[in-house]
Amino acid sequence: MEICELTAHELAGRLQAREVSAEEATQACLDRIAETDAELGAYLTVTADLALEQARAVDSRRRAGEALPAVAGVPVAIKDVLCTRGVRTTCASRILENFVPPYDAAAVERCNEAGLPMIGKTNMDEFAMGSSTENSAFKVTRNPRAIDRVPGGSSGGSAAAVAGNEAFWALGSDTGGSIRQPASLCGLVGIKPTYGRVSRYGLIAYASSLDQVGPLTKDVRDAALLLGVIAGHDGRDSTSADLPVPDYVAELEKGVQGLKAGVPAQLLGQGIDPAVRDCVLAAVDRLVALGLEVEETQMPHIDYSLPVYYILAPAEAASNLARYDGVRYGHRTAKPVSDIYDMFAKTRSEGFGPEVRLRIMLGTYALSAGYYDAYYLKALRVRTLIKRNFDEAWQKYDVLLSPTSPTVAFKVGEKADDPLQMKLADICTIPINLAGIPAASVPCGEVDGLPVGLQIMGRPFQEDVILRVAYACEQTMSG
């Protein structure tokens, strides 16, 4: 097996045993990128020199006998939505094409502290708006499992990098499914942590009440490790939770015996490909055989998730994206302008792609006088009802199970001109962001040779329980 095909924890073991150096592992990733990324399109920026320098630093500390974090030396890819000091951070948008942040995002800082060399910045849908990575201003990313198909989105570059062995693991962000859906479509594990579990400091904002940073990995153990690296309190994010971070790896093998799961009927019905549903239900049966208690449950307000999300997320985006005005940083029009308003208008119409413009318009409309009560305020109220459905479910269940994505990976171009179909891709993942709870996607089978993901949702701050169930599911796959 080639080095770049190892999981992160396998590589960590070899690094600790000094069978491989961090520099060799980093070089192996860079070689793979040179071979395959012209076709895959996972990276927007490859930081080869920086990664090799970080790797050599880890190697020399290890040689000196320093006590290092267990994962030190395992290269990581970072979604281009996270600020990286001195390294171009574009959010896959023309408006930030030449933006070089003066600081690191908190999650990036934690990766640095853990000794993870940064391989590069990955492609995404512009400002994380999309489900296929086709909305990038720069390029389309392809699915390593089937090159004519999308990797999902918006963290499609991170997913493709890991699934294509161009990185050992990666960070993504998830506002409505952007970690879990690409994980599902590329056959990876992805976790959207509880809102507040991982600092959003330095995460370029899309919809601030929904955004979270999380890992995309080759297996569940890697997800537990990387979540452990990035989770924890940070005073620079006012919504960061000041709670202890458990040892996620230590919990993995506890099994599912004694746990109770609900399967919401609302996430198995209309719009879910019957073959995907059968594959997910077969995985649920395998978990039952391991001792998980399962029953179907009703969560009626979940049905309103998509319309609620597509009012709240654009409303927050319209407000967040107001800062891109060509004055302080980012693109400014080179065309002649008549006054400052003309400068704003030209800058923003040149800088933002069609999907971003659409969402700014939708959000501005939902927030405007006369419509605020009818749309924004009503959506907030229904969000509370959805959250209550989950609060009630936690009285009975430790986890909830569903498909992650209603379909397997679709073809590049297949849904690009059909905004409704594209938005339906998030039908199972969006309720989780609205409720602020954690959820993972774990590979649970295949349909037509393409990966299917099982979504495991859990109580706030119980990522450890989710990981336990995910680990059990993974065992049933390899066994």
* Residues near ligand GLN, by CB under 6 A: 128-131, 154, 174-178, 206, 313, 426
CB of 174 to ligand GLN, least distance (A): 5
Nearer to ligand GLN, 27 or 175 (CB): 175
Distance CA 144, CA 222 (A): 20
Distance CA 291, CA 287 (A): 7
Beta-bridge partner residues of 43:
122
Nearer to ligand GLN, 13 or 419 (CB): 419
CB of 308 to ligand GLN, least distance (A): 12
Given a contact cutoff of 8 angstroms between Cβ atoms, the answer to whether 137 and 96 are in contact is: no
Nearer to ligand GLN, 204 or 252 (CB): 204
Distance CA 318, CA 75 (A): 35
CB of 350 to ligand GLN, least distance (A): 22
Nearer to ligand GLN, 33 or 317 (CB): 317
Nearer to ligand GLN, 168 or 195 (CB): 195
CB of 82 to ligand GLN, least distance (A): 13
Q: Is 39 exposed, middle or buried (0-12, 13-18, 19+ CB in 10 A)?
A: exposed
Nearer to ligand GLN, 174 or 463 (CB): 174
CB of 456 to ligand GLN, least distance (A): 17
CB of 176 to ligand GLN, least distance (A): 3
CB of 461 to ligand GLN, least distance (A): 20
Nearer to ligand GLN, 74 or 81 (CB): 81
CB of 19 to ligand GLN, least distance (A): 38
CA-closest candidate to residue 466, choices 291, 263, 298, 261: 261
Tell me how far the alpha carbon of residue 431 is from its chain's centroid: 15
Nearer to ligand GLN, 3 or 81 (CB): 81
Given a contact cutoff of 8 angstroms between Cβ atoms, the answer to whether 430 and 309 are in contact is: yes
Nearer to ligand GLN, 54 or 212 (CB): 212
CB of 2 to ligand GLN, least distance (A): 32
Q: In the block, which residue shows the tokens 């990581």?
A: 76
List, by residue number, the catalytic residues. 79, 154, 178
